[in-house]
Amino acid sequence: MARNAGSEDRGQASGEDAGNPEGAGTEVMTYREALRLALAEELERDERVFLMGEEVGVFEGAYKVSVGLLERFGADRIRDTPISEHGFVGAGVGAAMIGERPVVEIMTINFLLVAIDQVINHAAKIGAMFGGEVRCPLVIRTPNGAGAQLTAQHSQSFDGWFASAPGLKVVAPATPADAKGLLKSAIRDEDPVLVIENLPIYKEKGEVSLDPEALTPIGLAAVPRSGSDLSLIAHSFATVRCLEVAEQLADSHGLDIEVVDLRSLRPLDVETVAKSVAKTGRAVCVEEGWPSYGVTAELASRIQKTCFDYLDAPVERVGMAEVPMPYAKNLELAALPGGERIAEAVLETLEGAR
């Protein structure tokens, strides 16, 4: 089943990305290769940038994002750490406060809970507590989500938890191009940024700009598929699922579905979301996490407030079943917001409209 959202995009990004200047060229690469290229370019560009985390050096990363970086940049800038997330995230906070540009890799977002005090009580609040005189340009990279029978403690999506914290920017790229562009923007940002990756799409391929200055702006959604019947709004791997469903429903039911890829959760591009929903009149919001108190709950609230006069049906939400993730493959698949559940939500929202 094709999951190459980058090459199948039919619409246009909202706003102005730095894009791919004429003559810069592009290359088809995987999501993990795009992340690696972003890291290499930023390490080359700015000597203050360094990468640290468990197994990022000698082992070349738990998911092989940092392959070759230790050999190229040396142990001072590609630093293996002990198994102590609270410790090395704290070290990253301190390094950022004195002007360095640390990129901290956490093996999985589940382990970031061990360091949540450093993220929420320190990194996210330093700028406000010091009146902007001290900043914390820290980047934390970590994969999110489920799909490989990693069970309840390793298959969680905490996007909404971290996006609820003022002072912390949160981005979640769905394509290789945005994986590169958003990571580069995060490294150059003056505030702490959590870059949420996703396990199932590390291997997926798409066109990526080779221009070292091609950035994806933080806080700007994209519209990879234009449509007029309904808006599917998602981020990360849920965007990939939504693009597949939109194509399938076009073939099976003749539906013209628009897909909005949030790309950034904080700041949230409500303007692009509202413009889409005002055009289609119907919205289905999809996330990999639990819907209660989650990203789709926030989206539903924002859409209701900004698009009330345009809505022809209640905003629908699709997310993971509200249970700890089961181990058995059939139960795992049942718990996840797969294409069948998304399609059902779309058809129910459109019932009686055509």
Residue 340 known to be catalytic:
no
Packed helices 31-45 and 176-188: angle between N→C axes, nearest 10 degrees = 30
Q: Name the residue with tokens 């996210």.
A: 124
Side chain identity at 59, as an amino acid letter?
A: F
- The rounded distance, in Å, linking the Cα atoms of 83 and 88 is 9
Task: Measure Cα distances from 193 to 140, 150, 208, 233 in Å.
Answer: 6, 26, 22, 22
Cis peptide before 267, with omega less than 30 degrees from 0?
yes
Residue 154 known to be catalytic:
yes
Please pick, among 8, 100, 154, 207, the residue that the annotation labels catalytic: 154
The DSSP secondary-structure symbol of 118 reads I
Asked whether the beta carbons of 102 and 50 are under 8 A apart, the reply is: yes
Task: Measure Cα distances from 4 to 174, 200, 261, 327, 342 in Å.
Answer: 10, 12, 14, 27, 18
Per-residue exposure over 166-187, b if at least 16 CB sit within 10 Å of its own CB, e if not:
ebbbbbbbbbbbbbbbbbbbbb
Please pick, among 42, 54, 85, 244, the residue that the annotation labels catalytic: 85
Task: Measure Cα distances from 28 to 90, 209, 237 in Å.
Answer: 36, 9, 19
Decide: helix, strand or coil at residue 194.
strand
Decide: helix, strand or coil at residue 222.
strand
Q: How many Cα atoms within 13 Å fall on the side-chain side of residue 316?
A: 21
Provide the annotated active-site residues: 85, 154
